[in-house]
Amino acid sequence: MRRVLLAGAGVLGLAVAIHVPGMWTALGADAKSAFCPFGAAPRLATRSAPTTPRPALGFTLDVTTRSEIDAWAQARGVTCQARRGGGVLECEQRAALATTTLWFRFAGTTLAGIQTSRRTTADGVATAFAETEAALTTVLGDPSRRQGDPAASALARGALRQAMVEYRAPAYRAVVRATNMGDGFVLTESYAN
């Protein structure tokens, strides 16, 4: 019975995360349609998840499986390599204005964490930051911590200017940072249990 409940919660959590606006923007405009089993369905705002959701870039920690990540990468043409004895999958996604490196960490065959580093423009990083923050806030509520001004103009004022938001929930922590690296701008995201 417990297994059934957990599985149900997992599917619901994944569905919620997939439909959070902005989650997929960082990975490409058509990512949702490429993976979403429900098409461009509206966000599941009327149902509450029985457990704390743990969204991570459109995936769900402790729910998404390695085979699902592999399928996502294959569908998107994302290049991935196994690292750390297979426990980490390092992927790189190139787009016109951004290059994203993603590190997927697995516990067995289940997704345990994601970290990303995305090089893009000042406007690109500001937009991605705002979309990601809005998406996480929709699912998790207000962030537990926020620092810095994420506007492109503020980040562009000097190297190492940074804005960050952090979300904490039981067995979950998400940190998003937009940083001026001097020679470009970086959006980093970290999702872990």
Partner 1 sequence: MRTLVVFAFALVGCTPETSIRPDTKARTPIQAVSCASVTPTVTVMTFGLAYSPDPTTVAAGSIVQFVMAPQHNVTSSSPGLAVGFGATTCLEFPEPGTYTFECASHKFTGTVIVTDGPEVPEGPGAKLVCPSSGRNAFDTYGVAAFVAVNEEIFTLVLADLDANGTTNLGDSFTKIGTGIPPSTSDDLATFKGKLAAFLVWAYGGPASITYTDGKPYVGPQDMVIAHTGLGITSAQYDFFVANIIVPALTNKGVTGDDLAMCFAPVVTAPTFKATMVGK
Binding site for partner 1 (CB under 8 A): 83-84, 87-88, 92, 101, 103, 105, 113, 115, 117, 119, 147-148, 157-162, 164, 173, 175, 177, 179-183, 186, 188, 190, 192-193
What is the closest distance, in whole angstroms, from the C-beta atom of residue 4 to partner 1 in the complex? 30
Residue that is written with structure tokens 């920690």 in the block = 61
- Asked if residues 172 and 185 have their Cβ atoms less than 8 Å apart, the reply is no
Query: In the numeric block, which tokens belong to residue 153?
Result: 């103009």
- Asked if residues 172 and 54 have their Cβ atoms less than 8 Å apart, the reply is yes
Nearer CB in complex with partner 1: 51/188: 188
Burial code of 15-47, b = ≥16 C-beta within 10 A, e = fewer? bbbbbbebbbbbbbeebbeebbeeeeeeebeee
Nearer CB in complex with partner 1: 117/138: 117
What is the closest distance, in whole angstroms, from the C-beta atom of residue 117 to partner 1 in the complex? 4
What is the closest distance, in whole angstroms, from the C-beta atom of residue 118 to partner 1 in the complex? 9
Nearer CB in complex with partner 1: 58/113: 113
Going by C-alpha positions, the residue among 148, 61, 140, 151 that lies closest to residue 107 is: 61
Nearer CB in complex with partner 1: 51/101: 101
What is the closest distance, in whole angstroms, from the C-beta atom of residue 96 to partner 1 in the complex? 18
What is the closest distance, in whole angstroms, from the C-beta atom of residue 189 to partner 1 in the complex? 10
- How far apart CA 24 and CA 37 sit, in angstroms, is 14
Nearer CB in complex with partner 1: 83/142: 83
Cα→Cα distances 185→92, 99, 101, 146, 174, Å: 17, 11, 14, 19, 20
